[in-house]
Amino acid sequence: MAYLFVYITIWTTVVLIIGTFLAVLVRRSFMGRKYMRLDVERERYSALLATLEVGKKIEDISPFVKKPGSAGWIAIEENLFRAIGSETGRQEGLRLFNALGYSDRYMKSLSSKRQWEQALSAEKLGRIDCRMAVSLLIDALKSRNRDLQLMAIHSLGVIGDATAMPHLVALLKYAVSAEEEISLPILKSSILAFGVRSETWLLPCLTDPDWRLRSTVLDILGEVGNPMLSGEFMRMLKDPEQDVRAKAAKGLGKLKCAEAARMLIEALDDPFWVVRLHSARALGLMKDHAAIAHLKDMLGDKNWQVRSVVAEALSRIGGKGFVEMLNVYIDSTDKYARDQALDELGRKGVHGKMMARLACIQGRESLLKLNGSGNPDDKADIRDGILDEMLSILSTLNEFRLYEVLDALSGGEGKEANEAATTAVTALRGGEGPASGPPGLTGRIS
């Protein structure tokens, strides 16, 4: 009996192996013939794409009517999708999608038992801008098939029919409350596709008790970028929730709302570091010179990310912003502030070696050699004025010129130092021949 059991087991295994092998061979043969037929059909209907791309209208569509799912159907579909990707072929391509029954097929497939087919059909309906399918896609927002739901969200944004907006916003509220990280980015993208039209449904959400919804909506509105909403962003900058304040500051930066500069400067003292970060970035985007002194003080912020953004903001403002970072590097006793200033100046081409050489001019004695004033106080005033203007000019130089200038400024004593300083001033001016001395450091080098 035991021998018979082993015998049956062995033969069963052999039969299964042979059966699997034969099934693989049959499938490969079937798929091979299918792809061969598809290649033939693609070649046959390649002229369709050429006709559409030159903007011609297809008067007789009967040669292109094929059975759904057949090789001819697929080949024509591929050509139509390529055609709507071009300006000249889009209009006629979209007409043929409807005339040849593709739109109807896709809409019917939304109720297919195969989930992948449902999702694929929803995506295709968006690509062909099928407004007849809007109501079906709205219904699909409630589907348990996550792929279908996400594709319906995407396609509704592509089609842009306003009747979908209240449903998308309702789903946004649910996604925020349920913390659905997967659908939120697609929802945001879909709503953003409506542009300023979305504001009618989004603005009421700014008074919602759920701070997560207020924050998400502010993020979307900031991307929409309507300057008319700057007042709303300024109001939300006073929101009790820190994440909402951060999104408000971020939005004001994108809007470059100059009227909000004072509020953003105040927000630099916010206890939440992300609010300080976005406020600093916003001031940099606005290139607000009134904020330079406040940003300079923030270079020593306890959070390294804030320090980094503050330095970026100062360099974005340029001119006096560079000067203040150079002064921080030379004069500050705050190690973090000095390191951050040096790091940002390094990224902008004012490398650490150059800065170290400039810092070595202790007491700025080399600069004093540029004037003959006998009054120490006068010397200090003239020295600082020359330094500020020199640093502003240094910020415009390329790396090679900076090395030349700083080498000259850090020269030796006596006559040689005076000659080196004169050479430096000439180089800064970009002129030819000797410099006339201070306080005429007015040249600019582009």
Can you give 167-180 as a three-state secondary structure string?
Answer: HHHHHHHHHHHHCC
Say if CB 430 and CB 415 are below 8 A apart.
no
The distance in angstroms from the start CA to the end CA of the chain is: 98
Helices 211-224 and 242-255 pack at an angle, to 10 degrees, of 10
User: CB-based burial of residue 365 (10 Å sphere; 0-12 exposed, 13-18 middle, 19+ buried)?
Assistant: exposed
Q: Which amino acid is at 306?
A: V
Kindly state whether residue 442 falls inside one of the protein's structural domains. yes
Chain CA centroid to CA 173, Å: 24
Bond prior to 166 in cis (omega within 30° of 0): no
Retrieve residue 331's tokens.
């004069």
pLDDT at 277: 96
Kindly state whether residue 435 falls inside one of the protein's structural domains. yes
Kindly state whether residue 403 falls inside one of the protein's structural domains. yes
Which residue in 227, 276, 268 sits closest to 251, CA to CA? 227
pLDDT at 268: 95
Which residue in 153, 148, 147, 197 sits closest to 172, CA to CA? 153
pLDDT at 308: 92
Task: Give the separation between CA 118 and CA 150, rounded to whole angstroms.
Answer: 11
Handedness of CA 122, 128, 129, 135 (dihedral sign): negative
Task: Give the separation between CA 305 and CA 280, rounded to whole angstroms.
Answer: 11
Kindly state whether residue 81 falls inside one of the protein's structural domains. yes
Retrieve residue 57's tokens.
């209208």
Compute mean pLDDT per 10 residues along the chain, 446 residues long, and list them.
70 75 66 68 84 87 90 90 90 93 95 93 96 96 93 96 96 90 88 95 96 96 94 96 96 92 95 96 92 90 92 84 77 83 72 47 42 48 51 58 52 50 51 36 32
Kindly state whether residue 84 falls inside one of the protein's structural domains. yes
Say if CB 300 and CB 334 are below 8 A apart.
yes
Which residues make Cβ contacts (< 8 Å) with residue 395, sequence separation at least 6?
318, 319, 322, 323, 326, 348, 350
Count Cβ atoms below 10 Å from residue 54 Cβ, excluding itself.
Answer: 9
pLDDT at 434: 37
pTM of the model: 0.71
User: CB-based burial of residue 444 (10 Å sphere; 0-12 exposed, 13-18 middle, 19+ buried)?
Assistant: exposed
User: How many domains are contained in the chain?
Assistant: 2
Domain limits at 420?
361-446
Kindly state whether residue 419 falls inside one of the protein's structural domains. yes
Question: Cα dist. 40→72, 206, 221 in Å?
Answer: 9, 57, 50
